[in-house]
Amino acid sequence: MKKTALVLIIMAIGISAFFLCSFSVSEKEYAIVTRFGKSVRIIEHSGLQPKLPGFFETINRIDRRVNVFVIQPIQLLLGDKNPIIFTCYVCWRVYDPSLFFQSVARVEVAQQKLGDMINSQFGNVLGDYQLDQIINTDPEKVKLTEIEARIVNESNENVKAKYGLEILQIGIRRLNYPSIVAKAVYNRMQSERDKEAKKYRAEGTEEAAKIEAKADREVTEIIARAYQEAETIKGEGDREAIRIYGDAYSQGPEFFDFSKSLELYKELLQGKSTLVLSSENELFRYLTAPQGKKKETK
């Protein structure tokens, strides 16, 4: 029994010594070992690490993952003196664990300092832009992406050197206007929409005029071709009629004269006009002379 108890005591002491003289680091964190408050080494790789027992060395863990926070809304002036209220988010991570631990140490403090610095940078950068570069119906004129990139580049120069932080991304989350300029912004947007509508209507009118002119030209060409074909057919018909009349006259001149006279009588008798002619007129030869013969002149 005594031997078993002794073994258990030794095992307990060994396990306790193991835990007191070692610690583990996960892949999601950095570990800074301090001795009496002074940093002695930085551990950037995961795994089991040795340390001095008890109060001799302390383990300070720093999250190495990407952190995201939202900056409080702030009102600033644009280059055209229009005020704007915006809210943005910031993605950041620890760039230099040692500098971060010495300068800010805690995530809350780091986010506060980042927020102040980024708001200050926004105030400087927004002075180079106007309202129509923030909100516009033409996407090519909107410069929000350019503004965000400038803030990231200019802020990183300071936060890396001062706090050991790195800003990965800044995004404008929301834009608002003070009530004093909201109506002006609405009117400007409405004016831009009206301008676009007039442009589209003008283009439509121009296109309609082109289509109408083309249709009129095609109609004129079709009518001209139809008239030409009609005149050609009419000429051919007249020529054929003349040929038929000529053949008929050559085969029976007296019958041809008689037929033409009957047609003339029909036209005269159907009319309402009164025609006074001498009975000796050639027109009445088929009405007075026997068998339609011409009267002999004395």
Domain CATH code at residue 112: 3.30.479.30
**Most trustworthy range by pLDDT among 9-13, 32-36, 70-74, 243-247:** 70-74
Q: Are 154 and 125 spatial neighbours (Cβ–Cβ below 8 Å)? A: yes
Q: Let me know if residue 3 belongs to a domain.
A: no
Q: Are residues 89 and 169 in the same domain?
A: yes
Cα separation, 26 vs 284, in Å, equals 135
Q: Are residues 244 and 264 in the same domain?
A: no
Question: What percentage of the chain reaches a pLDDT higher than 70?
Answer: 78
Confidence of residue 292 (pLDDT cuts 50, 70, 90): very low
Confidence of residue 93 (pLDDT cuts 50, 70, 90): very high
pLDDT of 1 reads 61
pLDDT of 193 reads 82
Q: Let me know if residue 157 belongs to a domain.
A: yes
Confidence of residue 288 (pLDDT cuts 50, 70, 90): low
Question: What percentage of the chain reaches a pLDDT higher than 90?
Answer: 15
Q: Output the average pLDDT for the chain.
A: 80
Q: Are residues 261 and 235 in the same domain?
A: no
pLDDT of 66 reads 92
Name which of 57-61, 118-122, 201-205 the model is least confident about.
Answer: 57-61
Q: Let me know if residue 224 belongs to a domain.
A: yes
End-to-end CA distance of the chain: give it in Å, rounded: 185
| b (16+ CB within 10 A) / e for 83-114 | ebebebebebebbbbebbbebbeeeeebbebb
Q: Are residues 77 and 25 in the same domain?
A: no
pLDDT tens digits, one per residue of 154-207:
888 888 888 989 999 998 888 887 766 666 667 777 888 888 889 899 999 999
Which of 111, 75, 69, 110 has the alpha carbon at shortest distance from 89?
A: 69
Which residue would you say has higher pLDDT here, 4 or 237?
237
Q: Let me know if residue 21 belongs to a domain.
A: yes
> Once rounded to an integer, what is the mean pLDDT over residues 275-291?
61
Indicate the number of domains in the chain: 4
Q: Which amino acid is it at 218?
A: E
pLDDT tens digits, one per residue of 232-270:
999 888 888 888 877 777 776 776 777 777 777 676 666
Please classify residue 23 by burial: count the beta carbons closer than 10 Å to its beta carbon, then call 0-12 exposed, 13-18 middle and 19+ buried. middle
Domain that holds residue 30: 15-63
Side-chain-side CA neighbours of 284 within 13 Å: the count stands at: 8
Boundary of a domain, candidates 31, 63, 95: 63
Which residue would you say has higher pLDDT here, 53 or 152?
152
Q: Let me know if residue 104 belongs to a domain.
A: yes
Q: Are residues 203 and 298 in the same domain?
A: no
pLDDT of 196 reads 85
DSSP letters for the chain: -HHHHHHHHHHHHHHHHHHHTEEEE-TTEEEEEEETTEEEEEE-S-EEEE--SGGG-EEEEEE-S-EEEEPPPEEEE-TTS-EEEEEEEEEEEES-HHHHHHHT-SHHHHHHHHHHHHHHHHHHHHTT--GGGTS-SSGGG--HHHHHHHHHHHHHHHHHHHHSEEEEEEEEEEEE--HHHHHHHHHHHHHHHHHHHHHHHHHHHHHHHHHHHHHHHHHHHHHHHHHHHHHHHHHHHHHHHHHHHHHHHHH-HHHHHHHHHHHHHHHHHHS-------TTSGGGHHHHSGGGPPPPP-
> Once rounded to an integer, what is the mean pLDDT over residues 18-45?
78
Q: Let me know if residue 131 belongs to a domain.
A: yes
Q: Are 116 and 165 spatial neighbours (Cβ–Cβ below 8 Å)? A: no
How far does Cα 157 stand from its chain's mean position? 35
Name which of 194-203, 222-231, 283-292 the model is least confident about.
Answer: 283-292
- Both structure tokens of 40: 């002695």
How far does Cα 237 stand from its chain's mean position? 64
